[in-house]
Amino acid sequence: MGADWIKGAALYLKERDPILAKVIDEIGECTLKPSNDYFGALARSIIFQQLSRHAASTIYKRFIDASGGALTPESVLSMEKRKFKESGISERKADYLIILAEKFASKEIDTELIENLSDEEIIEKLTAVKGIGRWSAQMVLIFSMNRPDVLPLGDAGFKRAVKINYNLGPSPSEEEIKKIAEAWRPYRSIASWYMWQTVNR
């Protein structure tokens, strides 16, 4: 896809959904940018699991520093176990990070080959790795690969944004959200990005 597809997607979404149209006008241009650092994105998602954003950000920064400033499979595999602990990373998460690094270092997860797979094939491949769930895989699809039509139903912030913007009940069901998101196809990733912006400001 060319660089302008996101602008085209936003225009399409404005025509399809009047509520989303107001959000797009208010937020402005979508700033999603592709990155092929899939290992770094997945490692970050492991570190951030079940932690507040503030606590996770502090631990993540310490871990980056401990790895020499660059988070790569090689830097993780060469790191002494005590440095994980000193960074604030639990033993379980340290094991997950090492397993993930091994998968990338051995090319069992190949950055180039993975780009040729469908969204669901990528999710299946990534979630086969211990410590990586569907949410983590979807975040890579949206924020790193910029796949256009991913609906992150497992993301609490996204669900809260839809609930607020569409005046849904206190605990909207996945079916309710899916019904709203039908109008967003084939650009549900872009619509989701705009939803996130409304609760992250």
What SS3 state is found at 17? coil
Active site residues: 155
Query: Within a 13 Å sphere around the CA of 44, how many CA atoms are in the beta-carbon half?
Result: 17
User: Helices 156-165 and 18-27: crossing angle, nearest 10°?
Assistant: 110
Q: Quick one: three-class SS letters along 33-90?
A: CCCCCHHHHHHHHHHHCCCCHHHHHHHHHHHHHHCCCCCCHHHHHCCCHHHHHHHCCC
What are φ and ψ of residue 92, in 5° steps? -65, -45
Decide if 109 contacts 103 (C-beta within 8 A): yes
Residue type, 60: Y
The Cα–Cα gap between 23 and 4 comes to: 20
What does the alpha-carbon distance between residue 84 and residue 162 come to, in Å, rounded to a whole number? 37
